[in-house]
Structures are given as structure tokens and as C-alpha cells.
């Protein structure tokens, strides 16, 4: 594995989870809340890991975990809020980002992605060939991306998907596209939970 001395893991769980009806980061697929599972997983691959969350969620997350609470300047603007808050907290750091709604993410999957990253790129992300889109919550953002993302925010453009597309970010194609399956409803969760086996 290449050296990632300045790359930290960022687990994004600041969304509203409106369709799920409960906090997706606290769903249990692997014997513990997904946010803690991912924290441990990224901790084996990154020098340090942080949980990105909104102010309300911060109240329920165990204090033994590193948190980056959305800055009031960015709050309410989706995943971009979490990433910009992280850039502000630790300038000059690259971020390996994952969302909490991907139950099929494993250490091997993330490690394979890391091995493909070219640190000369501005960003890299898993790519969904069926929908022909990047996945901004399974991605790596170089510290050099910060200025452009801040400019987008100032223009009231809040889509990291748009950023990845405009910058022609490196595309990573997972061996199995089930990795890209996000779980957004309680019905999906119950179905996956009853069949998943790790």
C-alpha cells in the first residue's frame, strides 16, 4: 500500500435520513452501528479517522470517536458541508470519504481503491457504470480540491458529483457493483439485514 501520511478518513453521516425514518449511521449490519464499523475499518488504512456529522447527531455519538461537526457556515448543504468543514479543520490534508449507507463496503474494497489513487490527481471516486455517474461518498479528495469546492459553495453550487464531473476526477471501477448499493429505506434495510453475511 502506498504511503498516505497526510490522508485521513472521513465518515459522512450528516444527512437527514428522511426516507429511512431513522439515522442511517446507526443502523447495524455488522454487529455494531455502521458509523463505528466504518471508523474501525478506515482506522486500519488511514493515519487518523473522523466522523463528519451535524450538531444534533454529535450529541448521540460516543465521545471516544474523533468528530468534525459541520461548521455553521456550511451547515445544511449536504456532504459538501462535511468535506469543507474537514478541510477547514485540517488544512493541507487529503480526505478518504465514505458514506454510512453502503453496507457492502469492506476493508479489501477500500484498500483496493487506495492502491489505485494517483496523488497527483485532484480527486478520485468509485464510478457507477450503470448510471454513468461518480459516487461522491465513496471518494478521495486531494487538499488541492479545497479552493475549487469553496468557490462552488460561494456560487451556491453544492453538488460534489458536479465537482467530480467538472474536474474529470479519476474513475475507480469496483469488481462488483453491489459495493455501490446504498440503503435508503427501512424496507431495504430489513431485506439486506436478513440476507447479508460477512
Question: Which domain, by its residues, includes 188?
Answer: 7-195
Q: Shortest CA distance to 146 belongs to which of 83, 82, 96, 70?
A: 83
In a domain, 81, yes or no: yes
Taking only the tens place, the pLDDT of each residue in 142-151 is: 999 999 999 9
CATH label of the domain that carries residue 23 = 3.90.550.10
CA distance 12 to 167: 22
Q: Is residue 74 part of a domain?
A: yes
pLDDT > 50? residue 33: yes
Residue 154 located in a structural domain? yes
Per the domain annotation, does 62 fall within a domain? yes
CA dihedral (48, 53, 56, 62) positive or negative:
negative
C-alpha separations of 140 from 18, 31, 76, 184, 194 in Å: 26, 27, 22, 23, 31
Q: What is the number of structural domains in the chain? A: 1
Q: Where are the extended beta strands (E) located within the chain?
A: 7-12, 49-53, 67-69, 94-99, 123-128, 133-141, 170-172
Q: Evaluate whether residue 1 is within a structural domain.
A: no
Band of pLDDT at residue 185, cut at 50, 70 and 90: confident
Is 2 a member of any domain?
A: no
Q: What is the pTM (predicted TM-score) of this model?
A: 0.90
Amino acid at each position: 500500500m502506498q504511503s498516505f501520511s497526510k490522508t485521513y478518513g472521513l465518515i459522512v453521516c450528516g444527512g437527514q435520513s428522511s426516507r429511512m425514518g431513522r439515522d442511517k449511521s446507526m443502523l447495524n449490519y455488522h454487529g455494531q452501528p455502521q458509523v463505528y464499523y466504518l471508523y474501525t475499518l478506515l482506522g486500519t488504512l488511514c493515519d487518523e479517522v473522523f466522523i463528519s456529522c451535524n450538531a444534533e447527531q454529535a450529541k448521540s455519538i460516543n465521545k471516544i470517536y474523533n468528530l468534525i461537526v459541520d461548521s455553521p457556515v456550511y451547515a445544511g448543504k449536504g456532504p459538501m458541508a462535511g468535506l469543507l468543514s474537514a478541510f477547514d479543520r485540517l488544512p493541507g490534508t487529503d480526505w478518504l470519504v465514505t458514506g454510512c449507507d453502503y453496507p457492502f463496503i469492506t476493508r479489501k474494497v477500500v484498500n483496493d481503491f487506495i492502491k489505485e489513487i494517483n496523488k497527483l490527481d485532484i480527486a478520485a471516486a468509485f464510478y457507477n457504470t450503470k448510471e454513468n455517474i461518480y459516487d461522491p461518498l465513496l471518494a478521495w479528495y486531494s487538499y488541492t480540491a479545497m479552493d475549487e469546492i469553496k468557490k462552488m459553495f460561494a456560487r451556491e453550487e453544492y453538488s460534489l458529483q458536479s465537482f467530480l464531473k467538472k474536474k474529470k476526477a479519476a474513475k475507480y471501477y469496483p469488481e462488483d457493483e453491489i459495493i455501490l448499493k446504498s440503503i435508503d429505506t427501512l424496507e431495504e434495510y430489513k431485506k439486506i439485514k436478513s440476507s447479508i453475511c460477512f
